[in-house]
Structure 1
């Protein structure tokens, strides 16, 4: 009887789950891919979202912003996404990690970018992790108080900005594994990513930049400085440095160009690849490491596995053991020293939110959809919009970019902007102009003849 009882219990459980899943499916049983779809939505693979570190608020089907056209488009679910499920691999067992389960939890089958002819859009595409500690600015000019209806319909002031230890329980992994990098973890393995995320400390303060003591009106004023050639000869350096905080990204060369771009850096935004390439490509301009200003905050955009491998090497103070940066010491790219509490990693939800609501390119409907993402400068600008009250933007691409060299530090031969397929520069040109015309940012647009001094 002792041997038979467990068998009976097991059979009863199987029957229960079989009936429950069957009742979830409309019509007749048609195959394993429908079972996968139903099971993934029924909760067998997904834990209650209230168990995540931060609250995940269900998507509100408000119009998403299309600043390039001035029109709004409703979020829709592609009907052909299930056609790819016959390509996915079988379930993989994930360790318990940092969630509080006493039994093994199963991750969803791996999805592959090659199996989708265009961006797959799920019914939870517009669901994002929210932060409980929403910032409530007192500044009368705060962007959160903008009267622009399109902007207000699209912006989520309390979007979760940071990815850190405690975020990737398996239910969150299953959700984010539906999205390609850097917007999620499609094609990645739970263990590979979670081992790196577990090293990222939770920020002591949710707000990246505090209100300065000298800001008597409570307004946080920020400058976002790109590397565009429009700044060469602009003499905007003092104006840029007069802001409370200055955001820079990628090859943030300042030495020798202080008159045009200033020399103050409060937040440095980058990917591991951008920093690595800048150090090796811009040594002649004195860029030997990331900026090292006192109190500086470093923000990493996790665009691929190489960034998570970079994080491991950085926080463990070791050389990278595998991948494209194998043999390199990430710490050396920050001057040999870094304080963990000043290092932040952007959350994939924030990156996907920027793409979906502000920079949704037509490229997403093409077979190279997975290559597209906004530029590092674009992510930096929107990070500033979610951090500061007043944002002034310098050195970003404008409609007359052909008048200027690609970079402000191109002092010899004039180079041109190359429109790579992984970015939509025309969309960004239109978006920055739209934000400027709406009074949301102040975009530096040069009008004078470059030959004049």
Structure 2
């Protein structure tokens, strides 16, 4: 039997378009395949017992002091003039959307995404207040995923903070001795969301950061307990969770003005420079963005597990895996050096405290090699 070919398929431009689309889909699929890394195994750096005791004493001292209401936000505003007035750190269905929020594309705003945004807001609670502990003064700790947390045994002390913010997919189940097991807020974008959900706190809030248009589709699927389409899946740079086992009332949408303020006013990056693929080192990390968020919802802010000591190239990058510090040298989106200088300034000025690295300024760090 002679097969009939549709006329439009015979046109050279149509065939070229189909070939390009097929190649693009194949390339996106290949990006999700496991890669064989040739990075060397990280060298375990044992923590000296005396140093660990100093760190514990430092954290206990911070927890024992009288909490200072609105301290972190006041210091941030006094030291860094902001042209971005963030009235609501989270967006909800009752949020009044001003034109400024649509001035930039994600992650700095929602340009040309008003309908997608409104669709998500209609699924969220009428109020997105995240105020833990009532009206009492709140101490907040933002826990990074740095390998510096390994062996410090700070878990039981980190659990004593009023608000505990965890980043991306940083696990707790097998690492609670070092990082604790309480989570008040988990903050991530779709690709960095935990595949295995371990946070069981009754007051947990999951804060989603929108980096691109398709992130709205994923968030809608997670809230409504539906599936992510195959077409949408192709536009994520790595696999995303198929479900997030929490209630709709626990989801929060980060106001992109938090990221814009972090980038433009705190880190003094130039205006958004979008490239064909991704951004050009003017997007702040989730960690620094979470720090800025913390100054809005907490009174005092501390960090733990932050910092990349690139001089120790074979030291562990994370507390939970075997990636060495050299992996961070391949990072193209974030300006790690500028963020490090910014964080050190905040710690030195006393605006925030760094429980695992800033403590070095107070106590002598002793490593056993």
Alignment TM-score, normalising by the size of structure 1:
0.57
8 Å CA contact retained: 2:143, 2:305: yes
8 Å CA contact retained: 2:73, 2:295: no
Aligned-partner Cα distance in 2 for 1:351–1:394:
20
Taking a change above 3 Å as real, the CA distance of residues 395 and 419 of structure 1, as seen in their structure-2 partners, is farther
8 Å CA contact retained: 1:435, 1:441: yes
8 Å CA contact retained: 2:140, 2:163: yes
Aligned match of 2:190: 272
Compare relative contact order (CA 8 Å, sep 6+) and give the higher one, 1 or 2: 2
Taking a change above 3 Å as real, the CA distance of residues 326 and 192 of structure 1, as seen in their structure-2 partners, is farther
Q: What pairs up with 1:399-410 in 2 under 5 angstroms? A: 399=309, 402=312, 404-410=315-321
Aligned-partner Cα distance in 1 for 2:334–2:178:
26
Taking a change above 3 Å as real, the CA distance of residues 401 and 219 of structure 1, as seen in their structure-2 partners, is farther
Indicate whether 1:199 and 2:107 are aligned.
no
Q: What pairs up with 1:284-323 in 2 under 5 angstroms? A: 288-289=196-197, 291-321=199-229, 323=231
Please state whether the residue corresponding to 1:418 is helix, strand or coil: helix
Gaps of 5+ in 1: 1-137, 280-287
Please state whether the residue corresponding to 1:222 is helix, strand or coil: strand
Aligned-partner Cα distance in 1 for 2:228–2:296:
32
Aligned match of 2:243: 333
Aligned-partner Cα distance in 1 for 2:275–2:226:
39
Aligned-partner Cα distance in 1 for 2:270–2:235:
39
Aligned-partner Cα distance in 1 for 2:117–2:287:
25
Residue by residue over 1:170-195, the C-alpha shift from the partner in whole angstroms, topping out at 9 and shown as x without a partner, is xx4x5433312111123x45434433
2:254 maps to which of 346, 369, 377: 346
Aligned match of 2:132: 210
Aligned-partner Cα distance in 2 for 1:194–1:431:
35
Indicate whether 1:439 and 2:350 are aligned.
yes
Residue by residue over 1:145-190, the C-alpha shift from the partner in whole angstroms, topping out at 9 and shown as x without a partner, is 7467742644978632112225476xx4x5433312111123x454
RMSD, aligned α-carbons: 3.5
8 Å CA contact retained: 1:266, 1:295: yes
8 Å CA contact retained: 1:148, 1:438: no
Please state whether the residue corresponding to 1:269 is helix, strand or coil: strand
Please state whether the residue corresponding to 1:380 is helix, strand or coil: helix
Indicate whether 1:179 and 2:179 are aligned.
no
Taking a change above 3 Å as real, the CA distance of residues 435 and 331 of structure 1, as seen in their structure-2 partners, is same
Q: 1:322 Cα deviation (Å)? A: 5.8
Q: What pairs up with 1:324-403 in 2 under 5 angstroms? A: 324-325=232-233, 332-335=242-245, 338-361=246-269, 370-371=279-280, 372-399=282-309, 402=312
Aligned-partner Cα distance in 2 for 1:357–1:415:
29
Taking a change above 3 Å as real, the CA distance of residues 401 and 255 of structure 1, as seen in their structure-2 partners, is farther
Aligned match of 1:448: 365
Indicate whether 1:230 and 2:230 are aligned.
no
Aligned-partner Cα distance in 1 for 2:264–2:76:
18
Aligned-partner Cα distance in 2 for 1:142–1:189:
34
Taking a change above 3 Å as real, the CA distance of residues 160 and 401 of structure 1, as seen in their structure-2 partners, is farther
Aligned match of 1:159: 87
8 Å CA contact retained: 1:319, 1:326: no
Residue by residue over 1:5-52, the C-alpha shift from the partner in whole angstroms, topping out at 9 and shown as x without a partner, is xxxxxxxxxxxxxxxxxxxxxxxxxxxxxxxxxxxxxxxxxxxxxxxx
Taking a change above 3 Å as real, the CA distance of residues 411 and 259 of structure 1, as seen in their structure-2 partners, is farther
Aligned match of 1:241: 159
Aligned match of 1:84: none
Aligned length: 293
Aligned-partner Cα distance in 1 for 2:73–2:118:
37
Residue by residue over 1:404-453, the C-alpha shift from the partner in whole angstroms, topping out at 9 and shown as x without a partner, is 3211123586754235221111111011101101111111215634437x
Aligned-partner Cα distance in 1 for 2:311–2:175:
20
1:140 maps to which of 68, 85, 89: 68
Indicate whether 1:429 and 2:340 are aligned.
yes
8 Å CA contact retained: 1:221, 1:244: yes
